[in-house]
Structure 1
Amino acid sequence: MTNEKAIIAIPMGDPAGIGPEITAKSLANDEIFNMCKPIVVGDKEVFHKAIQIVEKDLTVNVIQSPEEGKFEFGTVDLINLDNINMDELRYGEVQEQCGKAAFDYVKTSVDLAKNGLVKALATTPINKESLKAANVPYIGHTEMLEEMTNIQDPLTMFEVRDMRIFFLTRHLSLKDAIAQMTKERVHDYLLRCDKALQRLGIENRKMAVAGLNPHSGEGGLFGREEVDEITPGIEAAKKDGVNVVGPVPADSVFHQALNGKYDAVLSLYHDQGHIAAKMTDFHRTISITNSLPFLRTSVDHGTAFDIAGQNIASSVSMEECIKLAAQYAPQFTQETLD
């Protein structure tokens, strides 16, 4: 493992939200600079205003490319897209210019990563309604990244403290999610999850699959999903060399993972894994998109329009997001998972 500090791009998010504030607060922490070389992609005037709001002693160094970065604590290296009219910016409101700007920050950051100029992205919140107002044809980061990298169904992983959680399904009703719990999908995801952990530098990997029904169905007494689909998918993955057990009852598997029994858990549906992670530590739950050509970490909260511009927002999640990118980026392999 190399000790070289990675260059991390931070698209600053919706200018009307808390993204610029939490980015400024995070970069006022010298620990960030001890771990990586951060670059903000955004608007210089918006970021200057954010620094004033959070009352931090920071200087902005406008650069054209990462090679020009100073990477010194107290100085924020910023690629200025100059795409916000400050006279019209209103904190906490859906605005077309902000949706367009947020998209441009992500697009520029992705281009830097695809060209090998940054090692990872640490993304801040964007707003679905603002994107829609700007006629941006995506509802969030994942959809943007799919299109920009030509990677279908990116693999989402949460990390909080020592627990990692993958998701077999995401934004589906519970009924529709259960219909997706086929042995083929379980098999495929376990292969992808194992590869994702390998890309993050985790050796001697052991995973568990969470059960769907109470007590994982008790051999079919409380539902047939484990018997008919989930267990066969696990067995197929084992035959392909994946070190995985399960299904393990969901009321115990996350606790076991948090205490080191497993390197990761495959959650079967959205809330199953989200509840486990956020009850462990809401602010330190970080999302990692693993199956891209580059590493991407993200805060797991929104633009918080209700408190934007007021120096109320906590930067804990953003700081953890950048630190996690810095931790994994040096050993992260750049090849795609497909």
Structure 2
Amino acid sequence: MIKIIAVTMGDPAGIGPEIIIKSLIDGPLSGAPAVVVGCAGTLRRVLSLNITPAAELRIIKNVADAHFAPGILNVIDEPLADPLALQPGKVQSAAGDLAYRCVKRATELAMAGEVHAIATAPLNKEALHSAGHIYPGHTELLATLTHSRDYAMVLYTEKLKVIHVSTHIALRKFLDTLSRARVETVIAMADTFLKRVGFDAPRIAVAGVNPHAGEHGLFGDEEITIVGPAIAAMTAKGINVYGPCPPDTVFLQAYEGQYDMVVAMYHDQGHIPLKLLGFYDGVNITAGLPFIRTSADHGTAFDIAWRGQAKAKSMAVAIALAMQLA
């Protein structure tokens, strides 16, 4: 049975349409079993820029109508009211609404079993919010659409994998809401995720909250009162988990092979090392959903949108990984 992937356009005014076309037309994924959920009119505009070899755009109503062959782009059309009015590189509410509709449509297809995973191109949060869809990002939007309670963001490269306790919240709010239960949940999701992708006995490191993991309470007590007890509880359940580890060294240790994944406490703690070491091939995965979701690990890059300059490697890796995990 062919495992079909839905690829959402993201914000059409960003680099999403370009990197999707480059990924599915110009490279080893050409002809892969992927359907694009997005605005066909926008894709035609980007194709007319001749940034890739010639391609045939096929609009399909149902996933079953797709024909997978090199040079063919199968598209489930979620149209803009006026595709020609879209301005590349600009925040527009119509673009934010389209990004939302594409994710919603792809989620419906996945929940119905018509596609087996979703790979998402980047959306713009300001445009999303201006359209009335008040979500911090893809992760929270997908969790809402699937009614998922326990979920977490995973950043994935071959040599470094990071899962987050919190993501798109202020640091002050993170410190106020950090709990032992959440840390335990994320450790369990890390173990489940790693086993799903082929690690028989995952080794999970948990980063501390404070400098030097608190230095035995000198620089904060979250490691003593929250993180340490969570690690002890999950160790008792048979998970290979270590820490709390000093955040300034644990990511390098994982990169060099000592651990298979790091539990990061907050957004930038995990994102900075991952993007430094794997910006172009990093993939964003949402753990805890009822289906696999991967994403290019970068933003909409409005400054280079529709200029043929965008690198498609992260998007291509996201699509390939979605196929592999599905």
TM-score (norm: length of structure 2) = 0.92
Partner residue of 1:27? 24
Q: Is 1:161–2:150 an aligned residue pair?
A: no
In structure 2, distance between residues paired with 1:155 and 1:260: 23
In structure 2, distance between residues paired with 1:212 and 1:12: 36
Identity of aligned residues (%): 39
Contact 1:8 1:325 in 2 (8 A): yes
Shift of 1:5: 5.2
5 Å-filtered alignment, 1:107-146, equals 107-146=104-143
Cα pair distance change 1:219/1:94, threshold 3 Å: closer
Q: In the alignment, what sits opposite 2:79?
A: 82
2:308 maps to 1:311: yes
* Per-residue Cα deviation, 1:253-296 (whole angstroms, up to 9, x for no partner): 11121222222110112111111101112122211001111100
2:189 is matched with which residue?
192
Paired residues of 1:5 and 1:326 also in contact (CA < 8 A)? no
Moved more, 215-224 or 165-174: 215-224
Contact 1:181–1:230 (CA<8 Å) still a contact in 2? Answer: no
Aligned residues: 325
Separation in structure 2 between the aligned mates of residue 153 and residue 73 of structure 1, nearest angstrom: 39
Structure 1 residues without counterparts, runs of 5 or longer: 330-338
**Counterpart residue number, 1:171:** 168
Given that 2:26 and 2:53 are in contact with CA atoms closer than 8 Å, whether structure 1 keeps it comes out as: no
- Which residue, out of 34, 38, 43, partners 1:38? 34
SS at match of 1:31: coil
Question: CA 1:88–1:118 in structure 2 vs 1: closer, same or farther (change >3 Å)?
Answer: same
SS at match of 1:226: helix
**1:25-71 CA-partner distances (Å, limit 9, x unpaired):** 1112342247x411111122211111222243211122122212111
Query: C-alpha distance in 2, partners of 1:179/1:135?
Result: 28
1:149 aligns with 2:146: yes
Alpha-carbon distance change, 312 to 102 in structure 1, aligned in 2, over 3 angstroms: same
Cα separation, 1, equivalents of 2:97 and 2:213: 46
Give the alignment partner of residue 273 of structure 1, picking from 260, 264, 270: 270
> In structure 2, do the counterparts of structure 1 residues 136 and 210 end up closer, same or farther at CA, with 3 Å as the change threshold?
closer
Aligned-residue RMSD, C-alpha: 1.9
Structure 2 distance, partners of 1:16, 1:185, is 36
Work out whether residues 100 and 133 of structure 2, in 8 Å CA contact, stay in contact via their aligned partners in 1. Answer: yes
Check whether the contact 1:131–1:139 (CA below 8 A) recurs between aligned residues.
no
Comparing 173-182 with 61-70, greater Cα deviation is found at 173-182
Aligned partner of 1:18 in structure 2 is: 15
What's the TM-score, normalizing by structure 1? 0.89
Q: Which runs of 4+ in 1 moved over 6 A?
A: none
Question: 1:334 — aligned with what?
Answer: none
Q: Against the structure 1 CA distance between its residues 276 and 75, is the aligned structure 2 distance closer, same or farther, given a 3 Å change threshold?
A: same
- Give 1:50's aligned residue: 46
C-alpha distance in 2, partners of 1:317/1:323?
10
Superposition deviation, residue 132 in structure 1: 2.9
Match of 2:60 in 1: 63
Instruction: Give the distance between the partners of 2:178 and 2:86, measured in 1 at CA.
Output: 45
Q: What corresponds to 1:333 in structure 2?
A: none
CA distance in 2, matches of 1:129, 1:219: 41
CA contact (8 A) 1:207 1:265 kept: yes
> Match for residue 336 of structure 1?
none
Q: Write the deviation string for residues 199-220 of structure 1: whole angstroms up to 9, x where unpaired.
A: 3343211211112333323333
User: Which range moved further: 133-142 or 22-31?
Assistant: 133-142
Counterpart residue type for residue 160 of structure 2 = M
Quick one: structure 1 residues 302 and 85, their matched pair in 2 at CA, closer, same or farther if it must change by over 3 Å?
same
Cα offsets for 1:133-192 (capped at 9, x unmatched): 332343432232122101125211101222110111212333332333333332232123
CA distance in 2, matches of 1:189, 1:37: 32
Cα distance in 2 for partners of 1:94, 1:268 equals 31
Cα distance in 2 for residues equivalent to 1:327 and 1:258: 22
Given that residues 184 and 233 in structure 1 are in contact (C-alpha distance below 8 angstroms), is that contact kept between their aligned partners in structure 2?
yes
Q: Equivalent residue for 1:246?
A: 243
Inter-partner Cα distance in structure 1 for 2:44 and 2:57? 8
2:23–2:30 Cα contact (<8 Å) kept: no
Confirm or deny: 8 A CA contact 1:95 1:130 kept in the other structure: yes
- Per the TM alignment, residue 119 of structure 1 is displaced from its structure 2 partner at its CA by 0.9
Give the 5 Å matches for 1:196-235. Answer: 196-235=193-232
Contact 2:207/2:264 (8 A) holds in 1: yes
- Secondary structure of the residue aligned to 1:122 is strand
Which residue type is aligned with residue 301 of structure 2?
A: A
Kindly indicate whether the alpha-carbon contact (under 8 Å) linking 1:17 and 1:91 is maintained by their aligned counterparts in 2.
yes
What are the Cα deviations for residues 67-102 of structure 1, in whole angstroms up to 9, with x where unaligned? 121111111111123334133221122223222222
Please, which moves more after superposition, 77-86 or 261-270?
Answer: 77-86
